[in-house]
Amino acid sequence: MASEKLLQAMRLVEEASRAYEEGDNFGVVIRAYRIVETLSQFLLYLTGHYVEANDVPNYLVLVKGWQKTEAFARKLVNLYRKLYLAYKVEESSLIGSVNIRGTEAKQLKEGLRSLVEEAYQIYDEYHN
């Protein structure tokens, strides 16, 4: 299950890149939010916690025991908190508002690929 979540996250990275290229900055936020949720599920599955719920990153407190996975969990939670407001504001009555600039979307898009690559490293190390 964890490996499937990694594949889903990589597909979402590609979607985020396409959204950015098309000028859809909020599309990058949506994909980033989904990537954080997907990687949160990956990390939970990898460590033996099968949680299917809303706001999955809030369950990352269950990830304990290996410093690298704990650090990755903290990174995901921090990104989740940053994205949460932008994601929820866009779902509100302010639809159509600009809540992320192009430079922020570019930085976010570039960080997503490295985040997924880090997850792949964790997966490989966990199984070695």
CA-CA distance, 126 to 46, in Å (whole number)?
8
pLDDT digits (tens, 9 = 90+) for 15-24: 999 999 998 8
Q: What's the pLDDT score for residue 84?
A: 79
Sign of the alpha-carbon dihedral angle for 86, 90, 91, 92? positive
Q: How far is CA 103 from each of CA 29, 36, 77, 109, rounded to the nearest angstrom?
A: 13, 20, 22, 10
Q: The CATH number of the domain where 8 resides is what?
A: 1.20.120
Query: pTM of the predicted model, to two decimals?
Result: 0.85
By residue range, what is the domain housing residue 51?
2-126
State the total domains in the chain.
1
CA-CA distance, 111 to 84, in Å (whole number)?
17
From first CA to last CA, the distance across the chain in angstroms is 18
Which amino acid is present at 28? V
Which band of pLDDT confidence, cut at 50, 70 and 90, is reported for residue 103? confident
